[in-house]
Amino acid sequence: MDAVWLEAALNGPWTRDIQPGIPITVDEIVAEGVACAEAGAAIIHVHAFDEATGRQRDDWRTYARIIEGIRARCDALVYPTIPFPGAMGDPNAMTGAQRFSHTAELAKRGLIDCAVVDPGSVQIAGFDRIEAGETGFLYANPGDHIRAGLELAAEHGFHPGYAIYEPGFTRLGAALHAAVPNCPRPIYRFMFSEGFAFGFPPQEWALAAHRRLLDEAAPGATWMVAGLRVDITPLIEPAVASGGHVRVGLEDAPWGSARSNLDWVTDAVRRIEAAGGTPATPDQVRAAL
């Protein structure tokens, strides 16, 4: 069995009011990234924050400090996010070039192997908030933004990370990737949820549906199970058994998680090994990419 990639998503766009255990400062993010890497995570995903406000701020210099801080102590792959509603600045008012400006700066400096390029838009609405009369918000990724991200990936040679919130994202992402010459192959992250009303719940039938569509749209593509406001661990065994990879962490976990990032990673390692897999090293991930 091939080595299983394990990714730790350390924080997400959530504030500590929503997810109290997330790391916010550069030093906190670096320390947790290193600890998770040493525990078996080959990939670390981070959101940078304005430390004064505790809100996401996608400044390339902050990301560079995080990436260089982690890489000084281990060889994990570290990659950033893109502007998200609720962060500092309105992504819905940005051009594609503005949205990916920090990614471009990091890529120019050779600091990233992969980066977020999400192939579609989705309404993010919590079941609890819907019951309270709210409807959530639109996570918008217009076509020209997606194209800008893919063209940047082709220019600098990093792999697009596709968060597949809805099944149609797979079809659109595969088609757009095929239309951009020399773009490295995307990594497809199937985004499940229990707390939000998008996509699929974390059930094996849902994973099978995602895999079937991916096999038709992008045969042989790399994929992993992930999500938001979800405990993905029941899908680790079937994912490993079918050649997939795994993402865990406080970005993805149910809000108010009592577990730390290290707890989620340690448990995922145990489950991967129990399913007959071996957590991949960063060198193995880079070789596969």
Q: Who's near 153: CB < 8 A, 6+ residues apart? A: 115, 117, 159, 160, 180, 183, 184
Say which residues have a Cβ less than 8 Å from residue 62's Cβ, sequence separation at least 6.
26, 48, 49
Lowest mean pLDDT among 35-39, 91-95, 174-178: 91-95
- Is pLDDT larger for residue 120 or for residue 91? 120
Q: Is a pLDDT exceeding 80 seen at residue 89?
A: no
CA atoms within 13 A on the CB side of 100: 24
**Model's pTM, two decimal places?**
0.96
Domain boundaries, the chain: 6-288
How far does Cα 141 stand from its chain's mean position? 15
- At 183 the pLDDT is 98
Give the CA distances from residue 261 to residues 31, 45, 256, 258, in Å, rounded to whole numbers and listed in that order: 11, 12, 13, 10
Q: Predicted confidence band at 2 (pLDDT cuts at 50, 70, 90)?
A: confident
> What's residue 168's pLDDT?
98
Asked if pLDDT for residue 282 goes beyond 60, the answer is yes
Q: Is the pLDDT of residue 86 over 80?
A: no
- Low-confidence winner among 76-90, 117-131, 209-223, 249-263 (lowest mean pLDDT): 76-90
Q: Across the chain, where does the E strand assignment appear? A: 6-9, 43-46, 49-50, 55-56, 77-80, 114-116, 122-124, 137-139, 159-164, 187-192, 222-227, 245-248
pLDDT for the residue 211: 98
The structure tokens listed for 146 are: 């997606």
Range 122-128 average pLDDT: 95
What is the pLDDT at residue 93? 81
Does domain 6-288 fall under CATH 3.20.20.70? My reply is yes
- Alpha carbon distance 87, 64 (integer Å): 18
Confidence at residue 200, expressed as pLDDT on a 0 to 100 scale: 98
Neighbours of 21 (CB within 10 A): 17
Give the three-state DSSP class for 45.
Answer: strand
- In this prediction, residue 59 carries a pLDDT of 95
Mean pLDDT over residues 177-186, rounded?
98
Give the confidence band of 88 by pLDDT, cuts at 50, 70, 90: low
Band the pLDDT of 1: cuts 50, 70, 90.
low
Per-residue DSSP letters for 228-254? Answer: SSS--GGGHHHHHHTT-EEEESTTTSP
Give the pLDDT confidence score for residue 37 in this predicted structure: 98
